[in-house]
Amino acid sequence: MGKNHFLGKVVLITGASSGIGKACAFEFARRGAKVVLGARNTEELAAIVDLISKDGGVAVACHLDVANQESCQNFVEFALSSYGSIDILINNAGISMRAIFEDLDLNVIRKLMDVNFWGTVYCTKYALPHLLQSKGSIVGVSSIAGFMGLPGRTGYSSSKFAMNGFLETLRVETLKQGLHVMVVAPGFTASNVRLNALNQDGQKQGETPREEAKMMSSEEVALRIANGIERKKRTLVMTLVGKVTVFLSKIAPALLDKLAFNEMAKEPNSPLKR
């Protein structure tokens, strides 16, 4: 890929204190971008900014709670006051859940929608005028759960379907304005998202039901996101399983239902009734 494509570009990353967001911070800084990092964990953000700076990169960070509209507006204004423009917005902040809907406290779905969907809407709303001016890129870090209903993840799938629909509509609305919109589906990634996933009562499950060692690394996801932006990809489904899933959702949805149920039912302590 072009070595200097991101040189001097201003890249905003939400959920930048861990996982894919953190990896994106290092990846874009390494490619010469000015990165603006947002998350609730300001101590971790400060440590990341320090590491990037020591490596010769350019980075700033501020507190961001994507579920709060004013916080998202402040994040965008902080980026503008720091660097004067915005070229790329990566909507990465997100949380997951694991419980069947029958047992689920409805506040869990509300929380996931607030973070995964509304967080994307809020940040995009305030960044959009500046991204249209720069003919920049908006990225939504979604999931295969945004292309098919993932059993045991009603709130997660709902929020990612909503994110996908929002971004795809925005892409069409701005078709003549030079905006690039990319929806990313990493598949299962080794990150904190499963450790912080909520159970039926809204408590963190604190353990992952899947084998992290066999998953794609956050660094690999970040690399592919950067390359996808450079190529102006529309949709980036990163795994073979993901590509097969999206294909089957279109041609054999009933078969996919059965396959998805059986796969998720195999997880340790699965909430699904076999």
Average pLDDT over residues 82-87: 98
CA angle 134, 117, 216 (to 5 degrees): 85
Residue 187 banded pLDDT, cuts 50, 70, 90: confident
Q: Which residues contact 39 (CB under 8 A, 6 or more apart)?
A: 14, 15, 16, 17, 18, 21, 45, 61, 63, 64, 93
Using the 8-state DSSP alphabet, how is residue 214 labeled?
G
Q: Hey, what are 157's tokens?
A: 């799938």
pLDDT at residue number 266: 87
Determine the pLDDT at residue 204.
78
Question: What is the architecture, at CATH level 2, of domain 10-240?
Answer: 3-Layer(aba) Sandwich (3.40)
pLDDT tens, 3-24?
589 999 999 999 999 999 999 9
CB 61 within 8 A of CB 42: yes
- What pLDDT is attached to residue 247? 93
Taking only the tens place, the pLDDT of each residue in 133-171 is 999 999 999 999 999 999 999 999 999 999 999 999 999
Which residues are known catalytic residues? Answer: 156
Low-confidence winner among 89-103, 114-128, 193-207 (lowest mean pLDDT) = 193-207
